[in-house]
Amino acid sequence: MAGVDRCNHGACDPPRGPQWCPRGFSHLTSAPSPAILVQYMDRMPLWEDIMQKLLTRTALATLALTIGTEAMATEWNVSLWGQRRAFTEHVERLAELVSERTDGEFTLNISYGGLSSNRENLDGISIGAFEMAQFCAGYHADKNPSITVLELPFLGVTSLEQEVELSMALYQHPAAIEDLARWNATLLMPSPLPQYNLVGVGDAPSSLADFEGLTVRATGGIGAAMSTVGAVPTSMSATEVRQAMDSGVVRAVSFAPHAHMSFGTIENATWWTTNLNPGTVNCPVVVNSDALASLSDEERDVLLGAVDEALDHYVANYNGATMDAWGPALEERNIEQVTFSEEELAAFREAAADPAAAAWIEDNAARGLPAQELYDFVTGMIAEAN
């Protein structure tokens, strides 16, 4: 009888005997007897328990491996505002490059307003609420006075390329590094913008005298410049502007072309200044210093090494697609274009530039900032380039 139920791998030989094989019946050399079937069925719960434990351990091992793999990947949260537009193209391109060059192991998760308001992005960086953010210096000049020197009116910057070079140089100045370090922030790259001009409602100004009493959204040095010709500057973030313009809180808005299109100020505008060019704003992208330090050497090299290409993409897009769309956007809406004479502009520069610079130097020197040194650093670079 022993041969009848013998399995072909020998696992059922004595001392265990032929009555049960842990590998089931499919490999037996002959059909099992009824008695063997009864004994095997009695042992099924034990075998099922063994298999369940094995499956559970396998699943846990797989889960642990998955979690370990995911833990190796690096994800940064990035706080922007508004929507994707020319102003954010360098951040979008930076995210693409970082992901590509690390095979997806380092990713930048970009949020438009979901993490913080634009005026609170620097605060969020300081507490580590997210790892990267964009803001404009004029939103809170007292928090980042060193870089507001780039917002002084009529500095004479003539191109986005020059704005990039100037900003990157200032960002490496010890005073700027120390200034932003107070917020645990490291300056990564600028968001270069062309000279601002005004879009407004109502009668178009025919001379600078017509700005007397005009309520205008203008921040930083541009606001200071507009006040010298009698305008009443108001500081507000870009996302608040359209409502303020529609409700009559302001009658004119100072923006770069992309922002006039992105935030809808041209939708009910009647006029636009073509050559007022009072200045621009400086809007850096910063990273949390602790997060930067915690990156692996490879990740840090990839991030920093992608900045130049991201900025090149930004500038090409702004000079190309954005400016190509600007002229037609004005014409389609029959917006009157106002051009001032060179004599008026010279008088405007004389009235605004030197007093604003002197006030900036005095105020920031009182804070302990090397204000004169920073001003000379910036204006010296501009003079050398021009």
241 domain-assigned: no
Do 186 and 285 fall within a single domain?
Answer: yes
Work out the mean pLDDT of the chain and round it to a whole number: 87
What is the per-residue pLDDT for 27?
Answer: 44
What is the per-residue pLDDT for 219?
Answer: 87
What is the per-residue pLDDT for 237?
Answer: 84
Do 36 and 99 fall within a single domain?
Answer: no
Do 36 and 97 fall within a single domain?
Answer: no
142 pLDDT more than 90:
yes
359 domain-assigned: no
Alpha carbon of 309 to those of 74, 77, 94, 278, 336: distances in Å? 21, 21, 8, 29, 37
Range of the domain at 164: 73-194+281-332
231 pLDDT more than 60:
yes
Domain count, the chain: 2
pLDDT digits (tens, 9 = 90+) for 311-365: 999 999 999 999 999 999 999 999 999 999 999 999 999 999 999 999 999 999 9
SS3 of residue 65 by DSSP: helix
Tell me what percent of the residues of the chain surpass a pLDDT of 70.
82
Identity of residue 85: R
Do 301 and 180 fall within a single domain?
Answer: yes
Mean pLDDT of 98-110: 98
Do 308 and 190 fall within a single domain?
Answer: yes
Mean pLDDT of 197-216: 95
Q: Give CA–CA dist 255/330, Å, rounded.
A: 14
CATH code for position 114: 3.40.190.170
382 domain-assigned: no
Tell me what percent of the residues of the chain surpass a pLDDT of 90.
78
Place of tokens 């022993």: 2
Domain boundary among 69, 87, 102: 69
Strands (E) in 185-318, as ranges, are: 185-189, 197-200, 215-217, 232-234, 252-255, 271-273, 285-288
Where is pLDDT greater, at 386 or 141?
141
Q: Give CA–CA dist 288/131, Å, rounded.
A: 5
Where is pLDDT greater, at 288 or 58?
288
Do 25 and 92 fall within a single domain?
Answer: no
Tokens, residue 234 = 């108001």
Do 184 and 286 fall within a single domain?
Answer: yes
Tokens, residue 35 = 């008695």
Q: Give CA–CA dist 154/255, Å, rounded.
A: 15
Taking phi over 0 as left and psi of -120 to 50 as alpha, with beta for the rest, 66 belongs to alpha
Do 101 and 190 fall within a single domain?
Answer: yes
Where is pLDDT greater, at 159 or 50?
159
pLDDT digits (tens, 9 = 90+) for 29-50: 445 555 544 454 455 554 455 4
